[in-house]
Amino acid sequence: MASHSDTLVVFFGATAGANGGKLGSDEREIILLVWQIVDLHEKKVGKLQRRLVKPDSLELTDQSKEETGLSVDELYKAEPLDKVLQQFQQSVSAELKALGRSSYTLCVDGPLIIRQALHPEASRKNLVLPECFYSFVDVRKEFHKCCPNAGQVQDLTLPYILEYVCIPELPLSEQVMGLKEVRCMVQLCLHILAEPYNHKFSCFEAVKYKLESGACSKTEPVDSETVIRARGLPWQSSDQDIARFFKGLNIAKGGVALCLNAQGRRNGEALVRFINQEHRDLALERHKHHMGSRYIEVYKATGEEFLKIAGGTSNEVAQFLSKENQVIIRMRGLPFTASPQDVLTFLGADSPATDASDGLLFVKYPDGRPTGDAFVLFSCEEYALNALKKHKQILGKRYIELFRSTAAEVQQVLNRYMSTPLISTLPSSSMVPMPVLATPPYLATGSTRDCVRLRGLPYTSAIEDILEFMGEHTIDIKPHGVHMVLNQQGRPSGDAFIQMRSADRAFMVAQKCHKKMMKDRYVEVFQCSTEEMSFVLMGGTLNRSGLSPPPCKLPCLAPPAYAAFPSPAMLSEAALYQPPLLATPRTPQPPLSPHPTLAYYPPQHHPAQLYMNMNMNYTAYYPSPPVSPSTMSYFASPPGSVALAAQQPHAQGHIASPMMPQHSALVRMQGLPYNAGVKDILSFFQGFQYSPEDYSSMVQMSQGQTRSLIQPKEWLCL
């Protein structure tokens, strides 16, 4: 069989829009193809062939009409692209047979006709191109190889090259678009084959048949001149769809990274890495080309952005993605108790995963908890399609979503979840500073992991249930060390934090009580630090993404009664040990007092300015109302403890005392009727000891809920 260098087919094409250096940049269809065979061994040429192509849209730009000299009537009588390509194959095969050759290589003046016009149009029309269109030589690069002093490849043009090697121009009668270019390229090829050049065509360029999947390491160098960002993608588009959009350009292995939003769903953007800058520059020319009915924006991006999305460090992911030519399906919404066998049974015998359970990758949080996501490898497209038919079918009590996925998406999802700490660090807050009194168990922070977090508590559980759940380990709990976490509506969140006497004790509790049953639910127990616990107790909201600031829903928890606090010098020692009754600000400042147990926030110049910002983000919590249940006789409040209140003028003209007795506290009421007034609230508490002059009420309508804050004489555990 003859080598590809024995025969060349000089090839040229033109479109109904822009041509020359902008060929293919406007998505216009091909309307003209011209070719001629050159036998490199015998240095003979074949017959010059010219074919018109009928486009689907019979519209030509004025520039195209002028350059090609073609009219709509001529194109209307022509054959469509698929028919012309068949004629091309038949004609070339017949001539090769006459010459005694069996293979050939296309020779073009620049890659645009192949990469930017022919392949994209064939992809849009679902045409299968012959194999010959996946390899070609560029006459400009071949000329630069034998005449390197002629200039840079990107600056070379065919007229300049002909002038450089002293080839005379064609007469005006023969300067018809397509025929002129092919004749000039044929002359140039024959010229550099002869003395003194004796050139051999060897710079073969390839067009990739399909996208290669693969993993990318964060340590891998990525050239920023090879990366683009595509925006406006349909949400259901896969990496194969993106590779099809850039058909004709070579994307690097694993070079498509679909971007995800904060909820882990695709956001219509992707980062694409090409094999070199030339292909990246050609990709930028496809700005606002269409994928279906949507136009796609294409911009430059950096290697750092690509690595941030697609780069990974997990050996588990690298091993999972090491299998070649696999179709990846993402499963979302799995039950947290689902096992590999459950997933394989759900997929069924008609869609077997590659290597059974080895073809499954469950996504987990850093503490080992399942996220409900998993990735599955399939050895062929048929198995993947069978799996996708099970989209939204039921596994256990949940419906499962299935999507096509990519290697980069696998890495991105793993990066997102594995980089999420048990409780993420709080961002700096710009909320208005306010004075707060807190005790060491609540604001004392440190990295010592002497606390445990209980997750999944029954919503009806109380402190007594937690102490019963802890069993023999209750003896190791610090005084006032049980903290129930409430949600933004003031209801149990299913979480609790417990301070242990040492990190070893906390470790033992986490080991022995993890997944132990409380009522009808199993409770997860994790060891954590005091700092992590304090972040939650200071208003953080726990969710799957870690700790996030909640929206402002409880501004009534910062009543004007606490707008001004006495200076630290006025505080009694006993006041330092009373548990806080209000939510603590998110960003504690260093203590300004010599007392190590006091966290104090200096007031503004004017007390009224403290609560002018009603958009403060914080969450109310009640540690263990009022501290720990007195009925257990377990945590007794220090004798003589007092709570600190601020002076506040009331409607009756009274001034509240700056110091409240120990038994005075706040009670929050939820679910009040919208028309409830002060008399209704007082009537509700009839029979309990309270003083009207100490009463303060503030009612807020927030998302259909009515709340009231009162100061009774006794704490009422509602």
Each residue of 437-474: pLDDT tens digit?
333 334 455 678 899 999 999 988 888 888 889 888 88
662 versus 271: the higher-pLDDT residue is 271
Whether pTM > 0.85 for this model: the answer is no
169 versus 123: the higher-pLDDT residue is 123
Q: Is the pLDDT of residue 620 over 60?
A: no
CATH class of 451-538: alpha beta
Cα angle value 95/100/103 (rounded, 5°) = 75
315-418 adopts what CATH topology?
A: Alpha-Beta Plaits (3.30.70)
In this predicted structure, what is the pLDDT of residue 543? 53
In this predicted structure, what is the pLDDT of residue 74? 92
CA distance 482 to 714: 21
> What pLDDT band is residue 540 in, cutting at 50, 70 and 90?
low
CA distance 121 to 81: 9
CA distance 467 to 480: 12
Neighbours of 46 (CB within 10 A): 21
CB 260 within 8 A of CB 416: yes
CB 403 within 8 A of CB 413: no
> What pLDDT band is residue 111 in, cutting at 50, 70 and 90?
very high
CA distance 685 to 687: 6
Pairing state between β 135-138 and 105-108:
parallel
Each residue of 387-430: pLDDT tens digit?
999 999 999 889 999 988 877 778 778 877 766 544 444 444 44
Sheet containing 492-500: order of strands:
477-486, 492-500, 451-455, 521-528, 516-518
In this predicted structure, what is the pLDDT of residue 575? 37
CATH class of 216-312: alpha beta
Which residue spans of the chain are classified as CATH 3.30.420.10?
7-206
State the burial class of residue 224 (Cβ atoms within 10 Å of its Cβ: 0-12, 13-18, 19+).
middle
Write a three-state SS string for 584-622: CCCCCCCCCCCCCCCCCCCCCCCHHHHHCCCCCCCCCCE
Q: Is the pLDDT of residue 553 over 50?
A: no
Of 560, 658, 599, the closest CA to residue 435 belongs to 599
Q: State the average pLDDT over residues 101-121.
A: 93
Identity (one letter) of the amino acid at 550? Answer: P
CA distance 583 to 436: 9
CB 21 within 8 A of CB 57: no
CA distance 309 to 370: 22
In this predicted structure, what is the pLDDT of residue 344? 94
In this predicted structure, what is the pLDDT of residue 382? 92
Written as six digits, the tokens of 576 are: 């330092």
The overall average pLDDT reported for the chain is 75
CATH class of 7-206: alpha beta
CA distance 348 to 395: 12
Pairing state between β 49-52 and 30-39:
antiparallel
Q: Which helix (H) or strand (E) holds 163?
A: helix 158-164
Which residue spans of the chain are classified as CATH 3.30.70.330?
216-312, 315-418, 451-538
Q: Which helix (H) or strand (E) holds 512?
A: helix 503-513
> What pLDDT band is residue 686 in, cutting at 50, 70 and 90?
low
Each residue of 296-337: pLDDT tens digit?
999 999 999 998 888 876 677 777 877 777 889 999 999 999
What does the chain come to in residues? 718
Neighbours of 646 (CB within 10 A): 17
Each residue of 154-199: pLDDT tens digit?
888 888 999 898 888 777 666 788 999 999 999 999 999 888 888 8
Pairing state between β 266-274 and 227-231:
antiparallel
How does DSSP classify residue 153? G
Q: State the average pLDDT over residues 99-103.
A: 84
% of the chain residues with pLDDT over 70: 70
Each residue of 22-59: pLDDT tens digit?
999 999 999 999 999 999 888 889 999 999 999 998 89
CB 408 within 8 A of CB 305: no
Q: Is the pLDDT of residue 238 over 90?
A: no
In this predicted structure, what is the pLDDT of residue 367? 78
In this predicted structure, what is the pLDDT of residue 491? 75
In this predicted structure, what is the pLDDT of residue 460? 85
In this predicted structure, what is the pLDDT of residue 274? 97
Written as six digits, the tokens of 497 are: 């934090």
